[in-house]
Amino acid sequence: MIDFEPSEDQRMMQDSVAQFAKSTLAPRIRESEKLRAVPEDVRRLAHEMGLGFIDVPESAGGQGLGLLTRVMLEEELGSADAGAAFGLSGPGTFGAAVVELGTVEQAAELLADFGSTDGHARFGAVAWSEAKPNKERAGFVTTAVLEGDGYKITGKKAFIINAPHASRFLVFAQVDASKGWGGLGAFVVEKDNAGLKVGSRHDTLGLEAAAFGEITLDNAIVPASARLGGGLSEADFTKAMLRYFSKQALVVAARAVGLARFAYEIALEYCETRKTFGKPIGHFQAVAFNLADRHMDVESSRWLVWKAAFAWDTKRPENEAIRASAQAAAFALEAAMRTGDDCVALHGGSGFIRDLIAEKLMRDAKQIALCCATPEQLDQIAAAIDLRAPLDPALVLPTPDAQAIFT
């Protein structure tokens, strides 16, 4: 029997987070935008609710409630302020990557302090992207060279979510230059490492409540134990990275669904109240068709995201779950952009004025599509699995050669 209804526990959590989003995030959306950060009292409340540990395994100190529950709650956050969803404290993308690439013991150790009483002030970050491709060879410019009982990391990373605030980074670097994109390694680097310098914050189009920035590594020395997934084969390490990117794409997609829902709802309200020629503009066929299409976008995105998250939680074959995630995220990101764009268009000239929220939703929708693998990269992953083609990292991972992303 097919059942699309959340469990009672999931519904209770969803209602709780929806109330938090409606009463706390939404009224302060412009405050967070001007502050360029989520206010501390909001971060503290979200931390007390355990929002950063929903799907982190219990073995790593999390709630272990699964990816489906996580995406349900992320949609509620996105429906109030997608930027705040990215700007909340906690392990974030760092936690997701550590769980996929590290051992159970490493994950527990690296995530422990994020759950402490002062965890609302702690951020994790993943340093994946580089602004420019390597012109000399395939792979990253940033390198990690084995020296003695540790590694020396040198290079520059950009487009890092919460880089200005992070206390701990997971840095991806080239370990074996001869293998190109197959020769990568992942290294935990603490903020107080003498060889790490946090650079300037990026001035971005949208999602202002989240801080995007860059770091420079100048002979940053880390112990051998700081490398995650070093014992995996090249194929297994690539698969672990794909799992990380796929699951993270679903989290971003859920926020995009929430954003699209927000944009649709305010467009619908405007079209019900704005009158011309004696009736609401929503009663005109061209506007009505537009609203109907955007409502379909929201509903379709949600079910695709839920289906993909369910595939992970029920341990469906890995390629099936990766493909479902790629399809769901690609659709949700594009649907959010369509809905945000049409929300502004339906408001007419007033949609471009910052007194209304419509213009912010369009800006956020454009940027959110770069906060995980792009729709084109996600399409490539889904097609490669359909065609039984090898998941070549050069084709299916978000790289500077193709498109650097925020992560």
DSSP letter string over 246-261?
Answer: HHHHHHHHHHHHHHHH
Closest CA to 99 of 310, 288, 243, 209: 243
pLDDT of residue 242: 93
| For residue 370, pLDDT beyond 80 | yes
Amino acid in the structure at residue 392: D
**Calpha distance 167→264 (Å, rounded):** 37
Residue 215, classed as helix, strand or coil, is strand
pLDDT of residue 350: 85
Confidence of residue 395 (pLDDT cuts 50, 70, 90): confident
Helix 66-87 vs helix 8-20: angle between axes, to the nearest 10 degrees?
A: 10
| For residue 250, pLDDT beyond 80 | yes
Cα Rg of the chain (Å, integer): 21
pLDDT of residue 367: 96
pLDDT of residue 165: 95
What does the pLDDT look like over 68-114, one tens digit per residue? Answer: 999 999 999 999 999 999 999 999 999 999 999 999 999 999 999 99
Single pTM value for the model: 0.95
pLDDT of residue 270: 93
Mean pLDDT of 330-354: 94
Residue pointed to by tokens 């209304």: 356
Of the chain, the end-to-end C-alpha distance in Å amounts to: 38
Phi, psi (degrees; rounded to nearest 5) at 171: -100, 125
Confidence of residue 381 (pLDDT cuts 50, 70, 90): very high
Residue 226 to residues 182, 267, 401: CA-CA distances in angstroms? Answer: 19, 49, 27
pLDDT of residue 275: 84
What whole-number percentage of the chain has pLDDT above 70? 100
**Calpha distance 116→119 (Å, rounded):** 5
What does the pLDDT look like over 262-290, one tens digit per residue? Answer: 999 999 999 999 988 889 888 999 999 99
**Alpha-carbon torsion angle 296, 301, 307, 311, nearest 10:** 160
Note whether 271 and 346 are within 8 A (CB): yes
pLDDT of residue 394: 83
**Calpha distance 402→381 (Å, rounded):** 14
What does the pLDDT look like over 25-67, one tens digit per residue? Answer: 999 999 999 999 999 999 999 999 999 999 999 999 899 999 9
What whole-number percentage of the chain has pLDDT above 90? 85
Closest CA to 157 of 179, 187, 128, 184: 128
| For residue 3, pLDDT beyond 80 | no
What does the pLDDT look like over 211-249, one tens digit per residue? Answer: 999 999 999 999 999 999 988 999 999 999 999 999 999
pLDDT of residue 403: 81
- Counting Cβ atoms within 10 Å, is residue 349 exposed (0-12), middle (13-18) or buried (19+)? exposed
- DSSP E strands: which ranges in 87-149? 124-127, 143-147
What does the pLDDT look like over 134-175, one tens digit per residue? Answer: 888 889 999 999 999 999 999 999 999 999 999 999 999 999
pLDDT of residue 40: 96
Here the tokens at position 348 are 């007419």
Write down all domains in the chain, each with its CATH number in brackets.
8-90+102-120 (1.10.540.10), 124-228 (2.40.110.10), 234-396 (1.20.140.10)
**Calpha distance 266→343 (Å, rounded):** 8
Mean pLDDT of 249-253: 98
pLDDT of residue 145: 97
Residue 275, classed as helix, strand or coil, is strand
pLDDT of residue 380: 93
**Calpha distance 73→18 (Å, rounded):** 8
Closest CA to 198 of 170, 153, 157: 157
Note whether 77 and 258 are within 8 A (CB): yes
Give the dihedral sign, CA 199/404/88/123: negative
User: What's the chain's average pLDDT?
Assistant: 94
Helix 358-368 vs helix 234-273: angle between axes, to the nearest 10 degrees?
A: 160
Confidence of residue 349 (pLDDT cuts 50, 70, 90): confident
Residue 150, classed as helix, strand or coil, is strand
| For residue 1, pLDDT beyond 70 | no
